[in-house]
């Protein structure tokens, strides 16, 4: 896609700030999430017997997703073109990318939904974690090697997603009810693509690059504990959220999947952003994200049955807290550096 991005960046005005390009692309994904939340809040709209999402929404989703992907590809080129590349720009770009994971996963989920020929909410929960793990792998690699490898599987997935949205507008969601080949459904292809990108591209390349750095004695962290420390908070987040899913007295994931995915994805983005800050500043990754402490207490209260009657309300309240905490963290990190470097002026 680089030849295409090189052509696009040439038509952008030189006064257009790269960070504004990054933020605009991110907001296209958020807009997709919000529109589909309105028409398909509980992910049933694509199931048989339910009112489907209007065709124009899928057209808009395809265009917005492609615009987001394109802007994410040209922001760095614009920075180099205007000699405005900064560490803050890299942090802003990758920080928003970490948050974008949950928005595009939830939006794609609306294509297949929860119906008989769709994907179960628990399956999607684990697929979301596959995407999140794939993302943090690249930054774990840079934390240990100093080099960020971005697998081409991301480019393929984003173009495919955009095409799927447009095709859905043209042929309707009913097309996805039919088997793709024999008894293999399109949902199965969707699942295989996500797992395939992780196990055939992202994971092998990250492990190979870390091993290569180890053999060449350029690994930044010599002990196994320090090397794998960035995985501690994501692992604890996975354990806590999975315990909530598995032992919820009201089956919260079945009742409120969208809110739960948003909570998990935002908490993960907060963890990842702090890792990105550490890798860019060559500082030690903190083993525990503070959001995990109140979340652990909250999950404990839920599992003891003390919040049975208000679990949904608690989920929405906690999701709001996580959202506000993450936005506050982003502003507190970006604002002082923006004022210092006069990036937005």
Place of tokens 């119906």: 115
Structure token pair of residue 200: 């055939």
Q: Does 328 qualify as catalytic in the annotation?
A: no
| Residue 151 domain-assigned (yes or no) | yes
Structure token pair of residue 19: 């960070």
| Residue 337 domain-assigned (yes or no) | yes
| Residue 4 domain-assigned (yes or no) | no
Catalytic one of 2, 52, 94, 139: 94
Whether 258 contacts 41, CB under 8 Å: yes
Q: Into how many domains does the chain fold?
A: 1
Per residue in 171-184, pLDDT tens? 888 888 888 778 88
Per residue in 72-87, pLDDT tens? 888 888 888 888 777 7
Inform me whether the pLDDT recorded for 338 exceeds 60: no
Per residue in 291-307, pLDDT tens? 999 999 999 998 888 77
| Angle value at C-alpha 305, between 303 and 308, nearest 5 degrees | 110
| Residue 1 domain-assigned (yes or no) | no
| Region of residue 181 (left: phi > 0; alpha: psi -120 to 50; beta: else) | beta
179 alpha carbon, distance to own chain's centre: 28
Name the CA dihedral angle for 307, 103, 32, 73, rounded to a multiple of 10 degrees.
160
| Residue 41 domain-assigned (yes or no) | yes
| Residue 71 domain-assigned (yes or no) | yes
Structural domain span for residue 225: 9-341
| Region of residue 251 (left: phi > 0; alpha: psi -120 to 50; beta: else) | left
Confidence of residue 342 (pLDDT cuts 50, 70, 90): very low
Q: Which of 22-26, 57-61, 150-154, 159-163 has the lowest mean pLDDT?
A: 150-154
Choose among 173, 166, 162: nearest CA to 117.
Answer: 173
SS3 string, 13-46, reads CCCCCHHHHHHHHHHHHHHHHHHHHHHCCCCCCC
Per residue in 181-196, pLDDT tens? 788 888 888 888 889 8
What whole-number distance in Å separates Cα of residue 22 and Cα of residue 81?
15
Confidence of residue 155 (pLDDT cuts 50, 70, 90): confident
Mean of pLDDT values over 37-66: 93
Percent of the chain with pLDDT over 90: 50
Using DSSP's 3-state secondary structure scheme, residue 247 falls into helix
Whether 330 contacts 272, CB under 8 Å: no
| Residue 3 domain-assigned (yes or no) | no
| Residue 87 domain-assigned (yes or no) | yes
């Amino acid at each position: 896609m680089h030849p295409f991005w090189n052509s696009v960046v040439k038509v952008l005005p030189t006064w257009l700030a790269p960070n504004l390009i990054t933020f605009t692309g991110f907001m296209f994904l958020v807009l997709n999430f919000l529109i589909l939340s309105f028409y398909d809040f509980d992910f049933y709209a694509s199931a048989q017997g339910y009112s489907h999402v209007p065709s124009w929404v899928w057209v808009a989703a395809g265009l917005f997703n492609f615009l987001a992907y394109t802007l994410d590809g040209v922001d760095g080129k614009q920075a180099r073109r205007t000699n405005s590349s900064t560490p803050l720009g890299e942090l802003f770009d990758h920080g928003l990318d970490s948050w974008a994971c949950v928005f595009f996963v939830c939006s794609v989920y609306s294509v297949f939904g929860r119906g008989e020929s769709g994907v179960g909410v628990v399956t999607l929960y684990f697929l979301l974690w596959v995407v999140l793990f794939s993302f943090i792998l690249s930054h774990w690699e840079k934390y240990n090697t100093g080099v960020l490898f971005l697998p081409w599987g991301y480019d393929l997935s984003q173009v495919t997603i955009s095409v799927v949205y447009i095709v859905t507008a043209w042929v309707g969601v009913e097309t996805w009810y039919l088997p793709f080949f024999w008894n293999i459904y399109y949902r199965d292809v969707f699942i295989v693509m996500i797992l395939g990108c992780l196990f055939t591209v992202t994971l092998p390349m990250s492990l190979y690059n870390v091993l290569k750095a180890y053999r060449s004695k350029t690994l930044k962290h010599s002990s196994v504990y320090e090397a794998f420390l960035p995985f501690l908070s994501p692992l604890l987040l996975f354990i806590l959220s999975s315990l909530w899913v598995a032992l919820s007295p009201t089956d919260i994931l079945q009742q409120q999947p969208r809110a739960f995915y948003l909570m998990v994805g935002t908490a993960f983005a907060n963890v990842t952003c702090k890792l990105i800050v550490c890798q860019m500043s060559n500082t030690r990754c903190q083993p525990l994200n503070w959001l995990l402490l109140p979340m652990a207490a909250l999950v404990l209260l839920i599992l003891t049955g003390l919040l049975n009657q208000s679990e949904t309300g608690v989920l929405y309240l906690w999701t709001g807290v996580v959202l506000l905490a993450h936005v506050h963290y982003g502003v507190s990190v970006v604002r002082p550096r923006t004022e210092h470097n006069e990036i937005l002026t």
